Amino acid sequence: MNRGVVYYILGRFLQSVMVLWIIVTLLFLLFRLAPSNPLASYIDTTFTKQQEAAILARFGLDKPLGEQYIIYLFNLLKLDLGETFSYSGKSVMDILRADLPNTIYLTLSSLLLAYFVGVLGGIAMAALRGSLLERVGTTFTLMTRAAPQFWVGMLLLTFFAFQLKLLPSSGIGPAIVRYRWETEWDKLMSPVFWRHMILPTFTLALYLHGLPLLLMRSNMLEVLDQDYVTMSRLAGYSEWRVMIQTAARNAMLPVLTALTLGIGYSIGGNVVIEHVFSWPGLGRTLVRAVQQADYPLAQGAFFFIALIIVFMNFIADILYSLLDPRVGASAQAQVS
């Protein structure tokens, strides 16, 4: 790596940190607008003024705003997101630590499936360009992008879970099995877990496959026009070989970047799917926390999702500049 690239990465990194800091500040301000106070989680017959004060003190809400902000920032640096209102004796981190792996499994499995199908589909669409099949295929893909994910989830649920009773309808597994999972590894080794993952993964992948497919298709069409592809054709290589070996390899790069970005955005967008399938992840926790007025938890979940997005954006930027030789570091900095 040359020095320019290192400087570029460093600069990008610092920028990401700045962006994160601004987001965190906005988050802090946003949550001061919250409609209910933390006492709402405590209905009690015997509350005295002092007890109310004690609870406010416990959550640091009695201090001036500026001081609260400083404390908040320092705690964030230690990844200390505070105590939840509604889960007795648990910190926000305890809850999120349990949620994060589930969200990641769901996101990764659906993205991998979506990109595998999408890339192959994109190549096929490019190969079939102009045919009726391509029109049908592209229209179907557009439909999957246009259908609300939760609705597709509902239909799949009705069909596979309620009518055919083939697949479980919600959660990550019955508790009677789950309590034996002491580590994440136990969970991943359990067929029960994977069975529960099928429907949500499939629903998500159905939505997600559209982007790589359309992207791959247009990149392929573009690459197929290039001289070196024409050269390979003239050299007598089979159409299949031209497609896969020459064109697809070059068309893949932007798709990879999109995948990196996709990880970040899917984690933020999974909320609805996690709700439909009662999947115990970050999104479901966020929705529940907001409904319960558990603001530290909502804020924490929001922060976590933002952190992942900013990080993935950073990685995507780097990938973009490294993988795409046409865009030098300086040019890249100018374009975005």
Strand, coil or helix: 90: coil
The nearer residue to other proteins, 204 or 294, going by C-beta atoms, is 294
Q: For residues 225 and 273, is the Cβ–Cβ distance under 8 A?
A: no
Please give the Cα distance from 181 to 17 (Å, whole number).
36
Piece of 73-81, 111-119, 189-197, 297-305 that binds other proteins (CB under 8 A): 297-305
Q: Which of positions 159-218 make contact with other proteins (CB under 8 A)?
A: 161-163, 165, 169-171, 174-176, 178-179, 211, 215, 218
What single-letter amino acid sits at 259? Answer: L
- If we measure between CA atoms, which residue out of 2, 12, 10 comes closest to residue 333? 12
For 97-155, the DSSP string reads: HHHHHHHHHHHHHHHHHHHHHHHHHHHHHHHTTTSHHHHHHHHHHHHHHHS-HHHHHHH
Among 92, 242, 305, 318, binds other proteins (CB under 8 A): 305
Which residues pair with residue 91 across a beta bridge? 83
Q: Which is nearer to other proteins, 3 or 329 (CB)?
A: 329
**Segment near other proteins (CB under 8 A), from 116-124, 186-194, 243-251, 290-298?**
290-298
Between 89 and 191, name the residue whose CB sits nearer to other proteins: 89
x-or-dash string of contact with other proteins, 42-81, rule CB under 8 A: -xxxxxxxxx--x--xx-----------------------
Residue 3 or residue 325: which is nearer to other proteins going by CB?
Answer: 325
Q: Residue 17 CB, nearest distance to other proteins (Å)?
A: 11
Count the Cβ atoms, other than its own, within 10 Å of residue 74: 10
Q: Which of 1, 77, 78, 88 binds other proteins (CB under 8 A)?
A: 88
23 binds other proteins per the rule CB under 8 A: yes
**148 token code pair:** 């609300």
CB of 291 to other proteins, least distance (A): 5
